[in-house]
């Protein structure tokens, strides 16, 4: 009997992610054909993006690509010249008050009232976003715990370190549990340990709400984002899952290490190898055409001539290389 119950329980647990994923297909934020100019200078060109519940979207791009401007438009701080923004199905331009209640926004510079203490400030932020006074106390405790601000509650914000100020900024964006969380470079100014915490926090937030964050740090995208969109000169030039992006710039190459290496010229002669770079007396970086049997040839040659192969590691493109490749391709 107990087994059956356990089985049912297990089944329920298994099936709950399924029901969750059904709910997660809900679109929380959609922007269509946004464009925006400052004076005669066009900053955003015809930009569209969509965000699903339970998704973390990374907006990536070099400085001045229009990331912050885009986020400002998505949060209603800046009106687009043309285009349409919907938050949870509510039109941001037509019903700004209703739509904005669903948004939590951390701008580039956290909007902190420096003379307030953390508790008062967060309470104000929660009430401003339309939370009831009775619910604020519980929300305040929870958000302080999530952002690691337990000890800072009674401190005046201007006396806090940059890292704590940034965390307070994140806390004000999530205290009212919004459906859409918009973070503009959330990890700027934090130390490595704090960066790790904040990334973990963003991942957690991505389970219940949708998060859109802008960054120029590629590692951030790799570690927290489900999807990546790259902007350049105010346009979206690339969009894919963050895993897909790593496959984008295919590099076929291997790092090999041989205890008794042959002359460099012999390695170059192997069919399909385009270049060989010797990184140390026994280590080589080999680049070859994709989808050839170069590796097999190499292995058999190594066995035949007793090169004593010690290591054979495939090369991965880092996100950085991919990013450079994508932005360069677009520039051409």
Partner 1 sequence: MMRLIAMRELRSLFAMPSTWFVLAALQFIFAWFYLARLEAFLEIQPQLAQLANPPGATLTVAAPLFNMAALLLMMLVPIFTMRLIAEERRNQTLTLLLSSPVSEGQIVLGKFAGLLAFLLLLIAALPLMIATLALGTRLDTGLLLSNCSGLILLTASYVALGLYFSSLTTQPVIAAIGALAVLAGLWLADIGAPAESAWHQLSPLYHFQNFNSGLLDSSDASYFVLFTTVFLLLTIKRLQNNRIYG
Binding site for partner 1 (CB under 8 A): 38, 72, 75-79, 96-101, 103, 105, 107-116, 120, 124-125, 127-130, 172
Please, which residue, 129 or 167, has the CB nearer to partner 1?
Answer: 129
User: What's the rounded Cα separation, in Å, for the pair 184 and 64?
Assistant: 13
Q: Considering the complex, what minimum distance in angstroms separates the CB of residue 121 from partner 1?
A: 9
Please, which residue, 2 or 132, has the CB nearer to partner 1?
Answer: 132
Token reading at 104: 């939590």
User: What's the rounded Cα separation, in Å, for the pair 273 and 36?
Assistant: 49
Please, which residue, 103 or 202, has the CB nearer to partner 1?
Answer: 103
Q: Considering the complex, what minimum distance in angstroms separates the CB of residue 99 from partner 1?
A: 8
How far are the Cα atoms of 218, 232, 263, 288, 318 from residue 269, in angstroms, in the given order? 37, 41, 11, 12, 28
Q: Considering the complex, what minimum distance in angstroms separates the CB of residue 108 from partner 1?
A: 8
Q: Which residues have CB under 8 Å from 296's CB, separation 6+? A: none
Tokens 């097999």 map to which residue?
296
Please, which residue, 57 or 73, has the CB nearer to partner 1?
Answer: 73
Please, which residue, 97 or 263, has the CB nearer to partner 1?
Answer: 97
Please, which residue, 123 or 322, has the CB nearer to partner 1?
Answer: 123
Q: Considering the complex, what minimum distance in angstroms separates the CB of residue 125 from partner 1?
A: 7
DSSP of 243-267: HHHHHHS---EEEEEESS---HHHH
Are the CB atoms for 226 and 56 separated by under 8 Å? yes
Question: Which of 229, 221, 232 has its CA nearest to residue 65?
Answer: 232
Q: Considering the complex, what minimum distance in angstroms separates the CB of residue 322 from partner 1?
A: 32
How far are the Cα atoms of 70, 134, 170, 178, 258 from residue 138, in angstroms, in the given order? 33, 8, 17, 16, 62
Q: Considering the complex, what minimum distance in angstroms separates the CB of residue 92 from partner 1?
A: 11
Are the CB atoms for 175 and 126 separated by under 8 Å? yes
Q: Considering the complex, what minimum distance in angstroms separates the CB of residue 164 from partner 1?
A: 17
Nearest 5°: phi and psi at 253? -170, 165
The Cα angle at residue 31 between residues 28 and 37, in degrees rounded to 5: 145
Please, which residue, 158 or 313, has the CB nearer to partner 1?
Answer: 158
Please, which residue, 128 or 315, has the CB nearer to partner 1?
Answer: 128
Q: Considering the complex, what minimum distance in angstroms separates the CB of residue 83 from partner 1?
A: 14
Q: Which residues have CB under 8 Å from 113's CB, separation 6+? A: 121, 124, 157
């Amino acid at each position: 009997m107990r087994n059956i119950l356990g089985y049912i329980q297990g089944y329920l647990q298994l099936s709950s992610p399924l029901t969750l994923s059904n709910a997660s297909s809900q679109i929380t934020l959609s922007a269509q054909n946004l464009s925006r100019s400052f004076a005669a200078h066009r900053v955003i060109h015809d930009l569209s993006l969509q965000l699903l519940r339970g998704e973390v979207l990374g907006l990536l791009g070099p400085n001045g690509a229009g990331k912050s401007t885009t986020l400002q438009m998505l949060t209603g701080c800046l009106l687009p010249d043309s285009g349409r923004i919907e938050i949870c199905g509510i039109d941001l331009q037509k019903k700004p008050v209703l739509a904005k209640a669903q948004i939590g926004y951390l701008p580039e510079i956290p909007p902190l009232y420096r003379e307030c203490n953390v508790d008062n400030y967060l309470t104000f932020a929660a009430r401003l976003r339309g939370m009831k006074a009775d619910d604020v106390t519980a929300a305040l405790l929870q958000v302080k715990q999530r952002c690691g601000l337990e000890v800072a509650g009674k401190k005046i914000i201007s006396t806090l370190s940059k890292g704590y100020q940034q965390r307070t900024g994140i806390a004000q964006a999530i205290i009212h549990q919004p459906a859409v969380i918009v973070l503009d470079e959330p990890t700027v100014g934090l130390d490595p340990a704090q960066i790790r915490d904040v990334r973990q926090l963003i991942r957690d937030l991505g389970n219940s709400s949708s998060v859109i964050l802008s960054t120029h740090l590629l590692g951030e995208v790799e570690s927290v984002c489900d999807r990546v969109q790259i902007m350049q000169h105010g346009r979206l030039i690339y969009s894919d899952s963050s895993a897909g992006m790593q496959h984008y710039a295919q590099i076929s190459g291997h790092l090999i290490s041989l205890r008794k290496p042959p002359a460099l010229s012999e390695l170059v002669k192997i069919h399909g190898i385009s270049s060989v770079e010797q990184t140390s007396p026994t280590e080589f970086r080999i680049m070859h055409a994709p989808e050839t049997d170069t590796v097999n040839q190499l292995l058999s040659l190594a066995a035949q001539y007793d090169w004593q192969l010690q290591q054979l590691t495939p090369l991965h493109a880092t996100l950085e290389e991919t990013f450079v490749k994508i932005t360069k391709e677009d520039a051409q």
